[in-house]
Structure formats: C-alpha cells, structure tokens
A and B are shown apart, each in its own frame.
Chain A
C-alpha cells in the first residue's frame, strides 16, 4: 500500500493537506530492544494512519505502563502516557469530552489484562469510541521477565522458577465474554494483515479490541513462531475471512462443526464441504467464542483476523444525546434560575 494518501472529509475549510507516514512520526527515537516486535507495529501504524485522513492534531494515542507504553511518544499526535493499566479510562475521558477525536489505546498483556483488566472490560462493555491495541507478548518485558496473565501454564520465568501455576487468559474469549463489539487478532510482523485489521478497527463505530501477537525477543523469544514464521505460519494461521469457508494449511485443513456443535480442526479431505464453518463475524458471539477456543494458545494452529463485529450504541454518542434531549426539554441551563429554584424568601 502507499504511504501517501489524500486527506478526506475534514471540515477545516482549508485545503486538505496531504498526510504521510512522516506526519505521524515524532522526533523521539524509539528505545525498545533491538529486534522487538514493537518496531514493526509502530512502523505499520505510522504508515497506516494517513489513510484515515484524520490530521495528527485530531488524533490521540493513550498508553499505560510496560514496553507498549512508550508507543505514545513515537507518534506525532497528541499523546497521554498514563499510569499502569488505566489507559482505557483516560481514553474514555478524552473520547467522551471530544467525540471528534480519533482515540487509540496502546496496551499490553500485563497492563491491559492484569492491573488494568477492570478498565478494559468496562470500556468494552460501554462501547466507547476508542481503538484498543493490546500487544500480547506473554511476558513482562519492562520489568525484565516475569510471567504475565497470558503466559502458558508451566512457564519458567524469574518469578516462577518452578513454572507458573496460573491459567492464562484467552484475550479474544475475554473480550467476547464482555460483549465487545469488535474483536480481532493479528501479528506484529505481518504488515499487510495488521494494516487490514487496523483499517477494519478504525472503521468500527465503538470500541475495537485488537490483540496483536508481539514477539519479545529478549524475554520470550519465539513464543509465536508457529504463527509468525513464514514457513510455519503458512500451515498454522487460520485466517478468518468474512463469508468464506474457514480452511487453512494450503487448503488441507479446515474448521468444521463437530459433535454437539463444537468447532474442530479436521482434514479438509475427510470433511463434507457443507459442514465447514463459513465465517460470519456479525453473528452471535458464541460463534466467535468457538473460534477463539480452537487453540489453547499460539503454540497450536490459531485463528487470526476479525472474529466479531457488531453495531451497538456508542457510549459518548449516547451521553451527547442525553445532553441534547435534556436541553431541548428544559432549555439551556440558567444558573440564576437554578440557584433560586425551590423555596426561597426575601428580606427587604
């Protein structure tokens, strides 16, 4: 895709500026470890943003604590780097205050699913107009390698020398469980797929939840190789495409409806074409939930793409409607009238 896109639809009255990747690239030098998956995500996001035609000053990136938290500083937009886990709440305040802004949250598996889990689920429940990018590397990187809420059971880390006994979250299933209106998964190093998912997320009206499998090459290298590495990924990525039968591994395997309506992976050759699942992201969340549970983690063939996408009233818009309705019913508030409302008496 081209990095240079005409700005569309901004009612500034001025000549529409031509936006480029450079317009979204700040003068701060990224300071992630060399080889970190965050570099690829940053580059793809910077290259994608011009496509939206929204000028940098109408765009806000909000992040929390962790390696992903630094993302904000590298985008030449408005940015707020908050405290640990609270980015969805900060972003809610920003988005509700000014519905004109394009608001993006960058978080990680520790930031978004551990300390900030409550804010994440409530943002998804409310359907605030924010786009949440959750960089999942299944490890605490910034604090130098403790297990995270998405680390696999048995994971040996500095804080779990005998292996983790925690059961991990399935972030897609979690988002679906709290009735998120847009749920997708993509990969840090697949520029084309990541861009397409970002595009779909940006177009979504409400909260978009995008899990990005991101390689931490220092503390958890290779966690996603089965999906990320070209040679393996081609066999193990289950790419979800709307309206298409779900087949993968060069067409050799498919997702079909098994016993009791369970989704299961099977050899395409052994499967009746009619029982291969046709992907419908607009259907009931239980369909997407079944897709989320095709694998226990990225060490098995796993689905990527848009799992679920539905329309529901958007939080900030609903608030604005209430303000308008109240003003229409009662007239614009008058402070003097308010202060004199109820019982008063006058002393001459």
Chain B
C-alpha cells in the first residue's frame, strides 16, 4: 500500500528540540542521506551557547535546518517548509521560522501542561488557535519509541533517548531518503553496543514505518537529484574543509603542520579535527592561552613548519600582539579567525563577519598583512591552501577569515584531485658561503626563510625594528621609514599574484552591482537570481582576497552607478572600499547572529534600484 508522492523542487526542513535531544545529530544524518541521494543542499545548525540549558526552556532549544533541492541552491533557506518540534519550547522558539501553511510535526508526548508552561505558553498552542494555518501532525514519538524498543533490554530512559531516531525515520520516509546510509552509520557508531544499536535501529524503523502506514500523513514528497557535473562528491562542513585544507597545504608543501590553539567556540572544531590526523604528521598543541597558542605557532614557523593558530571572537584580540611580531619577523604563519557574533563574549554560537577591520588594522603601528576569506563551507578548503601559499611565498602572517555559519554549515563538494592542488615551495634558504643577510629580499620583497639547524645562516630576529638587509636592531629614522614602506609594498604586491575580481554581469550593463565577501555569497547568489527573475538587471562580484584587493577592484566598483554591499556587520567592507576608491557604495547590514536571508536582500535590491 503506497501513498501518493508529490514532486517538489526544493524543501526546507528544520529539526528543533531540547539541546539534549540530539537534533544536530538527527540533522546531520538526514543531511548525509540527502547528499547521497544527489540533491543539492545547504545546512544551518543553530544551537544555544549553553551545553545543556534547563530542559524544556526556550533558550535551551537546539535546531538544525537543511534546504535540499533538485536545482542549484546556495542558502539553507529563509523559511522552513517542515518543522519537527520535539517539545513545546522548540515550537515556541522556531514557529516563526516556518512558512505560512507549512508542516509542523510535533512530539505529542511532550505537550504536557508542565512543558507547555515551561516553554512560556499560557495555553496549549495546539488547542488555542496558535497553529491555525499550519498543517499540524501530532505524533506520540516518545511512547512509540519506548514501545518499539521493548524487549531489547534497555531502560525506559535509554529508550526515550532514541526518539530522535524515530523523528529521523519519520522525516526520512516523508522525503524518500534511503535508509541504508543511516543504518550503516548506526552500525558504525553503536555496532559494539548491541542494545543501544538495536534500540536506535528499532526507533528509526518505527518512525519510517509510522509514516508509511498511518493514516496521519496523506502524502510524501519527492525531490529529484540535482544536476551535478560528473565527479565524486561528498558533503562537507566548513570546519572540516578548513582543517583538511591545512592538511592539504602541509602535504603540498612538504612542511609539517603545527596547529596551536586554545579551546574556544566555534574554532575548537578545527583543533578537534586536526588532532585526529597525527598520521599526516600533524602536531596539535592545546596551549595554555590564546597568546601562547600564537607564540607556539610563531616559534614553529621559525623552525620551518607550516604554522597555524586558530581562534574566534575574543581570542583574535589576544593574538594581536603576536601577529604584529610575526609581521616584523616576516615569518609565514596562518591565523584562522572563525568569526562569531558580538564584542567581548558576545554570542559565541552565532555568526557574524565583523572582524574584517580588526584583521585589517587591529595591531599597533603600521602592521599590514594579507587577508583571505572563505565564501562557502567547501571553499574553506581552497581558502586554507591559498592562505598557506601566500604566507609561505611572502614570509608573512596571513589572517584567514571564516565564520560560525561557514564552520557549521555543509554542502556537497566535488572532491578535488590531489594532483590538481597547488604545490607550495618553502624555498628554504641555504648558505652560499657569503655573509647571510636575513632581511635581504627577492623579487616579491620576501626575505629568506632560514631555519635553525641550517649551517652558515645563524641570525637573530625580533620585535625591534630591523636594519634593512642585516636584520640587526636599528633605530635609524630613514631605515624605519624604508622598512615600513617595504613591508607595505610586499603585501600590496600580492595583488599581482591573485586572480582579478570576477564580475558576473550577463548583460554587461547592470544597474546595480551587489558586492560581497565571506559567507554571504550564498544569499547574494540566491537573491540576485530572484531579482533577475523579477526583471531587474543586477551584477554580482565576490571578494576572496580582502587585503590586498584584486587589482581591478577599483575599476569594477567605479563602473556601476550603484554598488550595494551586504554584510553581517555595520558596513566594514563598505568602509574600506569607500575609503580606498572614493565610491558611493551603499551598505546593507544585518547583525542578528544569523545569515542574511535571500528575501531580505531581494527586498533591499529592489529598494536600491527604486531610489
């Protein structure tokens, strides 16, 4: 007996529950099954800062949103078509994310008087009209899960914990996801603990069969695979992609990777991922503090390693002095900043892109350095390699900007051929018998990288101003000006070594350029597509290199009558571009700890064009 299947081009599903309910895991597994099916997808995990906020409260709600489609998509979606809410708090917190007329799948067992009050509702929202206009499905997930796992030999509490697998099974049926991927994963995860494995499988199957057999759901949906270029794909999140990009840079340069970091949300994921790969010669050091992490990396850089430190939020402030030291020492070092929301502690689990000006100017004295950013989760891989390439070639610290959204979100990624990845030549200095000049320069103004242990090259470096050539301490006025200009010229010169800014302007005479950087790429792409569908003539361009800018940047921004710069900050790129190119670029800013939504930017584009 099979039920009607409705074709849909794209679907947004949101799983929401208590932070102990396993919603991130559920979303992650649903994503894997969706990726394997060949849908294009984008995800947005959205979790509270507290590990376990009081159960049943709104601020303890953890959610995971995925958009998947049979066509190319670039964002996790503005509104959910389906919300799975494991308790009243999840409904309360996330109802506003659901499109009007959307589907609500509620865990009926959790809608007790006590839980309803805890969530801040004065009356049962399933009874009082709050949910009018939505398609509401109440499913007793907890009790069915407990019944399905009877006889396996686990306690009631353990059994109840498997209810997220019931939800996963149910939603998997709704959207025709293959069960093998999830079952295979459960086997790997719990195979050695038979009862737990059996319980999770039973719950998952119970959910799947519940959808198939009950009268509750009239139909299921089908989303065809998206057309993808030939190749082998995987799903990847930004944190993993960045970590693997660093490993790839290590492999392609022959430089052992040293990653020194202090635990901080959300950058800790990099430390976790890299620490698993010791068989690649990756050394990870959990330092005593952010400052130590930066200095350990810099010491490793002096010793000829691919030296990386990573952090978020307040950690980047603490590293500033050491980054300045790396600037004057002219040593290769990568500083990963997974940007998060707010000043001070701010909102640690929420996204923002408000560290651009800090990366650019956040050190005392004239202290220029290159800035590279990633624009999509998968692009974190190539951005890491690019940061390493510039750091090593130019003997300079590089700040690599990612953000919380990129780090946690995932997308399908055509796995690159290893041989196609750029090679990086460390070009270590060796002695030619002559007196060694540690601050002599090559055609790119880079100085020699002379590693301790190399005969004939002993030299001293430090934070005091260097004499041109010899690198000895110098307080000479003219020398300081020369060195300041040399350091600036070296960084500026990188512009000749990066691709020009690529403008997408099909007609060549767009009325508006939407220019962005970082993780807003997906939103810009989606909203510009909508604007064009509305008949508006809009061009886009996206900056990956933020210092220096590509050589044609000024030409591009001056060419358009109107330039709109959407950012998750108060207009930082706009400020840089206005200062540098004297253009009347307009800012569109959002600082809610959330990505800009495509419909928001679509409205702004229309508004700017109407002006």
Residues of A at the B interface (CB closer than 8 Å) are 26, 28, 55-60, 62, 65, 72-73, 75-83, 86, 89-98, 100-101, 118-119, 121-122, 319, 322-323, 325-327, 329-333, 335-336, 338-340, 342-348
Whether B462 is near chain A, meaning CB under 8 Å from some CB there, is yes
Cα distance A342–B241 when bound, in Å? 14
8 smallest CB-CB distances across A and B, nearest first, come from A93-B299, A81-B462, A333-B280, A97-B303, A79-B460, A89-B295, A326-B278, A93-B300
Task: Given A333-B279, A338-B244, decide whether A91 and B458 contact each other with a Cβ distance below 8 A.
Answer: no
Q: In the complex the two chains form, is A118's CB within 8 Å of B292's CB?
A: yes
Task: Given A83-B322, A89-B291, A347-B230, decide whether A97 and B305 contact each other with a Cβ distance below 8 A.
Answer: yes
In this complex, the member of B232, B258, B303, B454 whose beta carbon has the largest number of chain A beta carbons within 10 angstroms is B303
Q: How far is the CB of B157 from chain A (nearest CB, A)?
A: 31
Cα distance A38–B281 when bound, in Å? 41
Task: Given A86-B322, A93-B303, decide whether A80 and B460 contact each other with a Cβ distance below 8 A.
Answer: yes
Task: Given A93-B260, A118-B288, decide whether A347 and B277 contact each other with a Cβ distance below 8 A.
Answer: no
Q: In the complex the two chains form, is A340's CB within 8 Å of B300's CB?
A: no
Q: How far is the CB of A326 from chain B (nearest CB, A)?
A: 4
Q: In the complex the two chains form, is A73's CB within 8 Å of B462's CB?
A: yes
Q: How far is the CB of A228 from chain B (nearest CB, A)?
A: 30
Of the candidates A28, A80, A340, the one whose C-beta lies within 8 Å of that of B302 is A80
Hey, which chain A residues are within 8 Å of B299, CB to CB? 62, 80, 89-95, 97
Closest A-chain residue to B278, C-beta based?
A326
Q: In the complex the two chains form, is B277's CB within 8 Å of A338's CB?
A: yes
Q: In the complex the two chains form, is B304's CB within 8 Å of A339's CB?
A: no
Chain B 379-419 interface 0/1 with A at a Cβ cutoff of 8 Å (1 = within): 00000000000000000000000000000000000011010
Task: Given A92-B296, A96-B296, A118-B292, decide whether A80 and B461 contact each other with a Cβ distance below 8 A.
Answer: yes
Cα distance A95–B453 when bound, in Å? 12
Of the candidates B231, B296, B416, B455, the one whose C-beta lies within 8 Å of that of A89 is B296
Q: How far is the CB of A52 from chain B (nearest CB, A)?
A: 15
Whether B464 is near chain A, meaning CB under 8 Å from some CB there, is yes
Cα distance A335–B453 when bound, in Å? 29
Q: In the complex the two chains form, is B297's CB within 8 Å of A93's CB?
A: yes
In this complex, the member of B251, B299, B301, B463 whose beta carbon has the largest number of chain A beta carbons within 10 angstroms is B299
Cα distance A346–B453 when bound, in Å? 47
Closest A-chain residue to B252, C-beta based?
A335
Whether B144 is near chain A, meaning CB under 8 Å from some CB there, is no
Query: Which of B31-39, B72-80, B212-220, B489-497 participates in binding chain A?
Result: B31-39
Q: In the complex the two chains form, is B295's CB within 8 Å of A81's CB?
A: no
Hey, which chain A residues are within 8 Å of B69, CB to CB? none
Hey, which chain B residues are within 8 Å of A119, CB to CB? 288, 291-292, 295
Cα distance A97–B296 when bound, in Å? 10
Q: In the complex the two chains form, is B232's CB within 8 Å of A97's CB?
A: no
Cα distance A96–B307 when bound, in Å? 12
Cα distance A319–B258 when bound, in Å? 11
Hey, which chain A residues are within 8 Å of B453, CB to CB? 57-58, 98, 100-101
Chain B 504-529 interface 0/1 with A at a Cβ cutoff of 8 Å (1 = within): 00000000000000000000000000
Task: Given A58-B453, A94-B303, decide whether A346 and B295 contact each other with a Cβ distance below 8 A.
Answer: no
Whether B181 is near chain A, meaning CB under 8 Å from some CB there, is yes
Cα distance A90–B280 when bound, in Å? 23
Cα distance A56–B293 when bound, in Å? 27
Task: Given A58-B452, A93-B303, A93-B307, decide whether A326 and B289 contact each other with a Cβ distance below 8 A.
Answer: no
Task: Given A57-B454, A333-B280, A345-B38, decide whether A83 and B325 contact each other with a Cβ distance below 8 A.
Answer: yes
Chain B 268-312 interface 0/1 with A at a Cβ cutoff of 8 Å (1 = within): 000000000111110101011101111111111111110100000
Hey, which chain B residues are within 8 Å of A340, CB to CB? 232, 234, 415
Q: In the complex the two chains form, is B281's CB within 8 Å of A333's CB?
A: yes
Of the candidates B228, B256, B278, B462, the one whose C-beta lies within 8 Å of that of A80 is B462
Q: In the complex the two chains form, is A336's CB within 8 Å of B247's CB?
A: no
Q: How far is the CB of B447 from chain A (nearest CB, A)?
A: 15
Of the candidates B38, B181, B285, B464, the one whose C-beta lies within 8 Å of that of A81 is B464
Of the candidates A80, A329, A344, A348, the one whose C-beta lies within 8 Å of that of B234 is A344
Closest A-chain residue to B300, C-beta based?
A93
Q: In the complex the two chains form, is A346's CB within 8 Å of B464's CB?
A: no
Whether B459 is near chain A, meaning CB under 8 Å from some CB there, is yes
Whether B235 is near chain A, meaning CB under 8 Å from some CB there, is yes
Interface residues of B in 522-580 (CB under 8 A from A): none
Hey, which chain A residues are within 8 Å of B117, CB to CB? none
Of the candidates A97, A322, A347, the one whose C-beta lies within 8 Å of that of B231 is A347
Task: Given A89-B287, A96-B283, A97-B304, decide whether A79 and B461 contact each other with a Cβ distance below 8 A.
Answer: yes
Cα distance A72–B461 when bound, in Å? 9
Cα distance A322–B278 when bound, in Å? 7
In this complex, the member of B235, B277, B280, B304 whose beta carbon has the largest number of chain A beta carbons within 10 angstroms is B280
Q: In the complex the two chains form, is A338's CB within 8 Å of B181's CB?
A: no
Cα distance A28–B302 when bound, in Å? 21
Extra A-B contacts (20), CB below 8 Å, given A119-B291, A346-B232: A57-B457, A80-B460, A81-B462, A81-B464, A90-B296, A90-B302, A92-B296, A94-B302, A97-B300, A98-B304, A101-B303, A121-B288, A323-B279, A326-B278, A333-B251, A335-B280, A339-B418, A343-B235, A344-B234, A344-B415
Chain B 206-229 interface 0/1 with A at a Cβ cutoff of 8 Å (1 = within): 000000000000000000000011
Hey, which chain A residues are within 8 Å of B301, CB to CB? 93
Q: In the complex the two chains form, is A57's CB within 8 Å of B455's CB?
A: yes
